[in-house]
Amino acid sequence: MTTALITGASSGLGAEYAAQLAKRGADLVLVARDEDALERLASSLRAAHGVSVEVLAADLLKPRQRAKVERRLADPARPVAVLVNNAGFGLPLAFETNDVESEVAHLQLHVEVSMRLIHAALGPMLARGSGRILNVASVAGFLPRSTYGACKQWLISFSRWANVAYTPRGVTVTAVCPGFTHTNFHERMGLAPGNEGIADCMWLDARDVVAESLRDAARGASVSVPSLRYKAIRRLVAFLPDSVTATLGGRGR
């Protein structure tokens, strides 16, 4: 039976990845800080789909707790076939007024932690000659958007290289780049629903984002940009000057 490990699994896209992978029959390892939320999700998925669900509560910014997750990924006796790097958070775009320690934690979680978990997973995946890694980035990675866009750009670039490097050895790596998606991500930044300044037509449903990204990963795509409208935006911004793309990147919070 395939086992998938998902970070940031207690809510939002992480919980949706857990639900869709469980529906496909995958056993799960759910990782997040909120153990109670993970246990509730695990119970519902076990009941609904009859899969095995392991709860691994960990703050990925704390080295000892992160090491538990790395060890789980690297354990050849309990192979993880799919890694979904989804944990993350956002900050206001005004870098100059943000607390610099919050910015450092933001960088560490999106870049360093993702890199460490990918590294831990790759060893046993390559030894088996199979595996799949999905790195949840953002369409913001194609736009100048303060440090959030910069972090996501790193994840996209690394995923593109890694997919080329490791696909011949049986392991695919896909950067998932959704646009604005209905989850609790913006609420955790202190914004009420509907207060982000984004037109309704630009919002995506988490179920559609996850379903399309899983299809793209199964095809071995280096980058998945769910929805035609965001695919078009990705292509368009490549031809626009920084002054315009930075303005576009500054929309919403």
Q: What is the CA radius of gyration of the chain?
A: 17
Using alpha carbons only, give the angle 190, 192, 195 rounded to the nearest 5 degrees.
Answer: 110
Dihedral sign of CA atoms 43, 188, 232, 107 in order: negative
End-to-end CA distance of the chain: 40
166 is catalytic: no
Dihedral sign of CA atoms 102, 18, 166, 76 in order: positive
Question: Measuring CA to CA, which residue among 171, 139, 161 is closest to residue 152?
Answer: 139
Contact predicate 72/64, CB 8 Å: no
Question: Measuring CA to CA, which residue among 83, 234, 88 is closest to residue 172?
Answer: 83
Helices (H) and strands (E) in the chain, counts: 9, 9
The single residue listed with the structure tokens 């007024």 is 97
Contact predicate 57/36, CB 8 Å: no
Contact predicate 13/206, CB 8 Å: yes
Q: Beta strand 53-57 with 131-136: parallel, antiparallel or unpaired?
A: unpaired
| Catalytically annotated residues | 148
